[in-house]
Amino acid sequence: MERIAIDVTAAITGRTGIARYVLALADAIEALPEAPTVARFAVGRALVEVPERTRHFPVPLRVVDRAWRAVAHPRVERITGLVDSVHASGPNLVPARAPVVAVVYDLAALDHPALHPARDVRQLRRYVEHLARADAVMAISATTADRLVASGVAPGRVHVAPIGRSPFPTAVDPPLAGRRYVLAVGAPVPRKGFDVLLRALARVDDPDLGLALIGPPGPEDDALAELAAALQLTDRVHRAGPVTEAELAGWYQHALVLAAPSVDEGFGLPLVEALALGTPVVATDIAVFREVTGRHALLVPLGDVDALAAALAEAADRPPSVVAQVALGTAHVAQYTWAACAAATVAVHRAL
């Protein structure tokens, strides 16, 4: 029986976006026709509950990583038993006797080091430097694949398997239901550009238009609160922490527009989710957002506050042009399913 080991370490460390990826991918692979067996494993101290059916190696990740880099031990098979291949989903490239597929989400920390903690920059740099040890490299978007090739990875070694969108459960109405608001999703970190979003909101001639920022706590929370106060927006900004899938669906459905003013991303799942639910998207005009929306969004130059404000106002008013754009976007994002991601992923593993 074919067995693929999948590193789900992100699911025990609280790295929410990557955690969603590894857990959804593992489940989707097992749901494929003639599916391989999936051996889930996680390394390090668990900050959250260890997922079911996961083999947990509870030694601190930094200790294991030093051993991996020094002597390439312990190999994955010590944790999982014999496997046919390994899906290394980061943040460390695991050693194994079996062929390894290394996943790269983005190179944002290398392209914009000033916007990321030094530890993240060092970790990603080391991971990319070690890609030569992997038997194949997988990117979650064509944009990330192009960036990997530009960085020196041989084109024939890079494969693309766009991440999927999980169907939402029945939506739960948010606290702002019935009110006019822009939605932003994600932890407040510098690359998200939420400071630019606040400045743009202050320039929209609509005092009833608010902002709902949904996501886990981040290092920019205090600075954003201070900026909102300075811009006299405190009463118009609603900060919600992590929410359930049902609650997130409600936030999307009641929003006038989703705003994504990011400097860089590896994919852009909130844009896909918003369009799937019929919500207009205003986003930075960067390659990955053009890719995942099919350009069916209002795209504005990076850091252009006035352009962002104008786009927010236009999208919030829902003219026929925006309604038509959303319909095209909804059709475009239908391709992003976990079944498609799983099939593309398994095809790479079986080709090794």
pLDDT of residue 154: 95
pLDDT, tens digit, 9 for 90 and up, residues 146-194: 999 999 999 999 999 999 999 999 999 999 999 999 999 999 999 999 9
Residue 93: domain span:
3-164+337-350
Q: State how far the Cα of 261 lies from the Cα of 271, in Å rounded to an integer.
A: 11
Tally: H helices and E strands in the chain: 15, 13
What is the arithmetic mean of pLDDT over 64-90? 88
Taking residues 104-118, report their average pLDDT: 95
Phi, psi dihedrals of residue 80, rounded to the nearest 5°: -100, -20
Residue 317: inside a domain:
yes
Q: What pLDDT shows up at residue 62? A: 83
pLDDT of residue 151: 93
Q: What is the arithmetic mean of pLDDT over 340-344?
A: 98
Domain count, the chain: 2
Can you tell me the distance from the alpha carbon of 25 to that of 33, in angstroms, rounded to the nearest whole number? 15
pLDDT at 66: 82
CATH number for position 80: 3.40.50.2000
Give 10-52 pLDDT, tens digit per residue.
999 876 788 889 999 999 999 999 999 999 999 989 888 899 9
Look over the chain and give the mean of its residue pLDDT values, rounded to a whole number: 94
Sign of CA dihedral 115, 117, 118, 124: negative
> What distance in Å separates the CA atoms of residue 27 and residue 177, rounded to the nearest whole number?
33
- Tell whether 265 and 119 lie within a shared domain: no
Higher pLDDT, 14 or 60: 60
* Contact call for residues 19 and 54 (beta carbons, < 8 A): no
Residues 207 and 103 in one domain: no
Q: What is the pLDDT of residues 307-320, one digit of tens each?
A: 999 999 999 999 99
Averaged pLDDT for residues 211-220 = 94
**Same domain (yes/no): 14, 73:** yes
User: Cβ of 35: how many Cβ atoms within 10 Å?
Assistant: 14
In a domain, 135, yes or no: yes
Please say whether the beta carbons of 322 and 298 come within 8 A.
Answer: yes
Cβ neighbours, 10 Å, residue 92: 21
Q: What's the pLDDT score for residue 15? A: 64
Q: Are residues 325 and 343 in the same domain?
A: no
φ, ψ of residue 54 in degrees (nearest 5) = -110, 130
Q: Which residues are paired to 158 by β-bridges?
A: 137
Same domain, 146 and 200: no
Summarised one tens digit per residue, pLDDT across range 269-299 is 999 999 999 999 999 999 999 999 999 999 9
CB 192 within 8 A of CB 112: no
10 and 158: one domain? yes
Under 8 Å between Cβ of 141 and 266: yes
Are 41 and 57 within one domain?
yes
Q: How far is CA 122 from the centre of its chain?
A: 20
Compute the average pLDDT of residues 225-244.
95
Residues 196 and 328 in one domain: yes
Do 194 and 213 share a structural domain?
yes
Residues 6 or more apart whose CB falls under 8 angstroms from that of 341 comprise: 25, 28, 161, 162, 163, 164
Residue 341 has a pLDDT of: 98
Residues 154 and 231 in one domain: no
Check whether 73 has a pLDDT greater than 70. Answer: yes
Burial of residue 208 (number of CB atoms within 10 Å: 0-12, 13-18, 19+): exposed
Residue 242 predicted with pLDDT over 90: no
**Over pLDDT 90: what percentage of the chain?**
85
pLDDT attached to residue 69: 78
